[in-house]
Structures are given as structure tokens and as C-alpha cells.
């Protein structure tokens, strides 16, 4: 992305989301673009930098190089408006000292700043600032509901609006948009994504079924995170993502 830098951030971390909003507010030259670390686009970018371990914090991709932790934060600050570039002077401090403090904040950020339990959907005017995924994907919505207040319901509408094929499974039969909700477990071919809206206590009965579909990824929306299923997915070559489907769709990263 010529003459621009990309900020990768933890999409379910309140502190990280606030940081992104702060950058956008002070990015007067429209220099930065964004993607959540849980998105396929971010993973594709990180694959270009083999030295990167799995990250759950801010990463900056700039001029063909990646920067993380305190170095990323300082390099971002120097491009912002106002007095923020002055903070770049701290780059002279040895990395291990800067990152020691940064890692403490990163380790306890969920406890101190919270973790999003609902989706923050960017406004249409901000969508152009987020990286876009271009391919449509056949998606299974697990935990589908006719209730328009449920995020699974909103996700089905948004998936169909974006041209994705949708299969919906819920506790009760029904219909959302043009998609029938079934309470059975149909045989489905070519499922790319399972987006999970079931509470973890209701997921175990679907473990074998989900694995049998062999999706490329399972998105665990806020409140549906399940370490047991995430581990089983990884064992079977399926990518688990703790992310928000609505956010991924709204920012064209799905």
C-alpha cells in the first residue's frame, strides 16, 4: 500500500480499539490503514514476516517492514498531528526497557481496560480506512435467531447483503432474510467459515459436526470464545479466530 502504513490491532480489546479511534482522529494526512489481528488480511500480511510470533497487540507494517510493541506505538505517534510526534524521542531508550513496560500493559489489558462483549461497527465514512477482503465465502451461522436484536440475526442480514451464501442453524426453526434456520445438522459441502454465536455451554454437542464440515476457520464472536473448541480446531487444521463477524464485514475484512 503505497505511501501508507498499516496498523494491525486486537479487535476485541477495548484499549486497542480506543487506540485505533485515537489514531484516526489525529491522522490528519490519512496515512494509516487498519485491520484487526484476527482478520485473514492481517494474517496474510504477517505471513510475509516469518520472524513474527503470534501477536495479540498493536503491529505496524510500514515501508516493507513490521514493527511491534513500543516501537510500533512510537512510530505511529511520530506521524500524528499535534504534539504527539514529540514522544518519538523515547525511541532512544533500549527496546528491552520500553517493551518491558509495554508487555505489562499488554498482559493485563483485558483486566484493566476490558474486552468487548458486543461489536463496534465502524461508520460508513471510516470503512475506506480498513483493509478489504474481496472473496465471498460460504458461511455457517451457528446460533442463528429470528430475534432482530441478536447479533447472529444482524450477521445473517449483513452476510446476505454482501453476497455470501449462508447456512443457518439455531435452537429453533425460523427464517432471517431469505435464509431458513434449521435446528438440524445438515450435510454441507464447501463451508469456508463457521461463525459462532452459541454460548460455550451449548457448543460441545456441535463439536464433531463442526469438525466434520472441515471449514477453513471458525470465528468466535464476543461471548462465544471457547478454548476447548479452539484447540480441537487447531488440531484439525482449522483456524480459530476470536473476532466479530459484523466488524469484519463492515470493514471489508471478512
Mean per-residue pLDDT, 165-191? 93
Q: Could you tell me which residues come within 8 angstroms of residue 89 by beta carbon, excluding any fewer than 6 positions away?
A: none
Instruction: Give per-residue pLDDT as tens, 22-35.
Output: 889 899 999 999 88
183 Rama class: left (phi>0) / alpha (psi -120 to 50) / beta: alpha
**Lowest-confidence segment of 72-86, 168-182, 240-254 by average pLDDT:** 240-254
Delimit the CATH 3.40.30 region(s) of the chain. 5-116
Class of domain 139-250: alpha beta
**Confidence (pLDDT) at 53:** 52
**Confidence (pLDDT) at 1:** 46
* C-alpha to C-alpha distance for 8 and 146, rounded to whole angstroms: 34
Class of domain 5-116: alpha beta
Burial 98-130 (b: 16+ CB within 10 A, else e): bbeebeeebeebbeeeebbeebbbbeeeeeebb
Give the model's confidence band at 250: pLDDT under 50 very low, under 70 low, under 90 confident, else very high.
confident
**Lowest-confidence segment of 78-82, 134-138, 164-168, 202-206 by average pLDDT:** 134-138
Mode of pairing for the β-strands spanning 139-142 and 193-196: parallel
**DSSP letter for each residue of 8-27:** EE-TTBHHHHHHHHHHHHH-
Say how far residue 106 (Cα) sits from the centre of its chain: 17
Strands (E), the chain: 5-9, 32-36, 59-62, 65-68, 139-142, 166-169, 174-176, 179-182, 193-196, 217-220, 239-242
Give the model's confidence band at 79: pLDDT under 50 very low, under 70 low, under 90 confident, else very high.
very high
Instruction: Give per-residue pLDDT as tens, 12-24.
Output: 555 566 778 888 9
Give the model's confidence band at 11: pLDDT under 50 very low, under 70 low, under 90 confident, else very high.
low
Q: Distances from the Cα of 84 to the Cαs of 78, 129, 156, in angstroms?
A: 6, 21, 41
Give the model's confidence band at 107: pLDDT under 50 very low, under 70 low, under 90 confident, else very high.
low
Delimit the CATH 3.40.50.720 region(s) of the chain. 139-250
Residue 159, phi then psi, degrees to nearest 5: -60, -45
**Confidence (pLDDT) at 230:** 95
Q: What is the dihedral of CA 169, 174, 176, 177, to 10 degrees?
A: 120
| pTM across the whole model | 0.55
Burial of 241 (0-12, 13-18, 19+ CB in 10 A): buried
Mean per-residue pLDDT, 230-253? 89
Amino acid at each position: 500500500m503505497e505511501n501508507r502504513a498499516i496498523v494491525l490491532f486486537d479487535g476485541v480489546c477495548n484499549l486497542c480499539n480506543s487506540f485505533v479511534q485515537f489514531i484516526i482522529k489525529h491522522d490528519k494526512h490519512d496515512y494509516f490503514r487498519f485491520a484487526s489481528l484476527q482478520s485473514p488480511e492481517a494474517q496474510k500480511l504477517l505471513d510475509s514476516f516469518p520472524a513474527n510470533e503470534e501477536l495479540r497487540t498493536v503491529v505496524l507494517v510500514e515501508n516493507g517492514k513490521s514493527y511491534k510493541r513500543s516501537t510500533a506505538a512510537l512510530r505511529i505517534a511520530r506521524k500524528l498531528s499535534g504534539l504527539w510526534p514529540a514522544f518519538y524521542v523515547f525511541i532512544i531508550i533500549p527496546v528491552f526497557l520500553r517493551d518491558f513496560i509495554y508487555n505489562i500493559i499488554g498482559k493485563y489489558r483485558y483486566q484493566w481496560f476490558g474486552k468487548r462483549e458486543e461489536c463496534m461497527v465502524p461508520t460508513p465514512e471510516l470503512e475506506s480506512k480498513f483493509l478489504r477482503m474481496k472473496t465471498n465465502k460460504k458461511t455457517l451461522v451457528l446460533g442463528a435467531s429470528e430475534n432482530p436484536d441478536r447479533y447472529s440475526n444482524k450477521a445473517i442480514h449483513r452476510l446476505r447483503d454482501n453476497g455470501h451464501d449462508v447456512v443457518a442453524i439455531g435452537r429453533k426453526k425460523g427464517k432471517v432474510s431469505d435464509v431458513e434456520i434449521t435446528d438440524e445438522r445438515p450435510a454441507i459441502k464447501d463451508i469456508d467459515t463457521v461463525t459462532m454465536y452459541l454460548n460455550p455451554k451449548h457448543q460441545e454437542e456441535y463439536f464433531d459436526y463442526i469438525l466434520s464440515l472441515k471449514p477453513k476457520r471458525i470465528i468466535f464472536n464476543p461471548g462465544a470464545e471457547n478454548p476447548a473448541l479452539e484447540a480441537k480446531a487447531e488440531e484439525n487444521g482449522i483456524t480459530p479466530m476470536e473476532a466479530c463477524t459484523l466488524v469484519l464485514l463492515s470493514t471489508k475484512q471478512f
